[in-house]
Amino acid sequence: MSSVLKDKHIIIGITGSIAAYKAAILIRLLVKSGAEVKVIMTPMAKQFITPLTIATLAKSPILVDFYNPENGDWNSHVDLGMWADLYLIAPASANTIGKMANGIADNLLLTTYLSAKCPVLVAPAMDLDMYAHPANLKNLETLKSYGNRIVEPASGELASGLIGKGRMEEPENIVKAVEDFFFQPAELSGKHFLVTAGPTFEPIDPVRFIGNWSSGKMGYAIAEELAKRGAKVSLVSGPTNISSTHPNITKTDVVSAEEMYQKCIDIYPNTHGAVMCAAVADYRPDSYSNVKIKRKSNDLSINLTPNKDIAAELGKIKKQEQLLVGFALETNDEVQNSAKKLQSKNLDFIVLNSLRDKGAGFNHDTNKISIIFKDGKAEHFDLKSKANVAKDIVDQIVRSTKS
Ligand code: PMT
């Protein structure tokens, strides 16, 4: 049993979404972890899953109406809000998110939201077009500005049959986000780090781009580990299929190196340090064709122009008290090449991974690294899972972080 959740009071709000069936699993996992759970359903949620199922799993009657029509018993949203250590709304439909953002209170779930003093965690669930609509994205930003935390939806097959972002995160991952919320070790608390992850895509025309094989696994593992140790993390990510669930992580999605540069240059000055794990394209096509380039029988040349070196640009503005950690992905002369990058980009240390090592680098769940320091010393590590590699890197960050 997870001791972090033992005796925690959690209200679960269920809204009208096909993902309501996952709320049953979520409640079972939270109750199994020792949490005390009360459930509020919107009237629409009852169309998707029966109150009997939910009440049985929650071990308490579900709440829908402001009062019990049988005996006039009042369901006080104020008392509910006071009782809770956390209000988790999962699944949260676009409709409910819109009402929360705008202070509309036409059911018990929403009145409880408005009066709740406790932190609020929201797990959206909807079709990809609804999720991507500017109105919905704006509403989510509004909720974040109220201090609510969002468990980002995953990408995958949706109930509509379409594939994209909008599917409610799996119950196990939501429980992890809840555990992370209650478990805040202090080692890096009060610190703020920027992490870059994934590839960049440099568009050629509306259908083609120059990219690379980075999956984002290594960068996301570092962001997750920093967040677990209490740091606030700004994750700037190129296109990946990974979602981050830790409430300390704020993710910004970018596509090209130029977009990644713009975000990093904005964020870095207000941080304690940055970990540059992204595989950034060094070059982009020097012109973009607005229409698809047609196949012809003769050769086609694309002129490339250099992108900014983001790590080097941050190295130029790095303050005395800030940390800058780079990566080096090498295929030959590994130590010499990474030592040059360490120097030229003004890094504090560099994490070397070589494509000559089996199981290291792009896309694997494992990596094999060496950490190279400015004085030429190096620490070599065995092949490990990327989660454990991230622990080794963050251990070094903790040792190097300037107070
Ligand atoms: O995402 P995964 O599939 O898990 O794979 C992980 C990884 C192999 C991508 C990762 O471990 C890694 O090595 N990342 C750095 C890849 C890279 O671009 O290395 P580089 O040697 O070309 O760049 C050196 C450093 O400069 C890196 O910190 C890089 O982020 C940075 N850089 C490079 C070019 C550029 N234009 N801007 C940069 O900031």
Atom of ligand 1 nearest to the CA of 337: 21
Atom of ligand 1 nearest to the CA of 369: 11
Tell which one of 235, 327, 336, 343 to mutate to probe ligand 1, the residue whose CB is within 8 A of the most ligand atoms.
327
Distance 353 CA to ligand 1 centre (A): 10
Distance 279 CA to ligand 1 centre (A): 4
Residue with the smallest CA separation from ligand 1 atom 24 is: 328
Residue 259 CA to residue 281 CA, distance in Å, equals: 12
Instruction: Give the residue range(s) of CATH 3.40.50.1950 domains in the chain.
Output: 9-182
Torsion of CA 121, 125, 128, 130, to 10 degrees: -80
Radius of gyration over every alpha carbon of the chain, rounded to an integer in angstroms: 24
307 lines ligand 1 (CB under 6 A): yes
DSSP annotation of 3 reads G
pLDDT tens track of the chain, all 403 residues?
447 899 999 999 999 999 999 999 999 999 999 999 999 999 999 999 999 999 999 999 888 888 777 776 777 777 888 899 999 999 999 999 999 999 999 999 999 999 998 999 999 999 999 999 999 999 999 999 999 999 999 887 877 787 888 999 999 999 999 998 887 666 898 999 999 999 999 999 999 999 999 999 999 999 999 998 999 999 999 999 998 878 899 999 999 999 999 999 999 999 999 999 999 999 999 999 999 999 999 999 999 999 999 999 999 999 999 999 999 999 999 999 999 999 999 999 999 999 999 999 999 999 999 999 999 999 999 999 999 999 999 999 999 985 5
The token pair at 193 is 């780090």
Instruction: Give the residue range(s) of CATH 3.40.50.10300 domains in the chain.
Output: 192-402
Please state which CATH class domain 192-402 belongs to: alpha beta
Distance 267 CA to ligand 1 centre (A): 19
334 lines ligand 1 (CB under 6 A): no
Tell which one of 280, 331, 383 to mutate to probe ligand 1, the residue whose CB is within 8 A of the most ligand atoms.
280
Which CATH architecture best describes the domain 9-182?
A: 3-Layer(aba) Sandwich (3.40)
Residue 119 CA to residue 370 CA, distance in Å, equals: 40
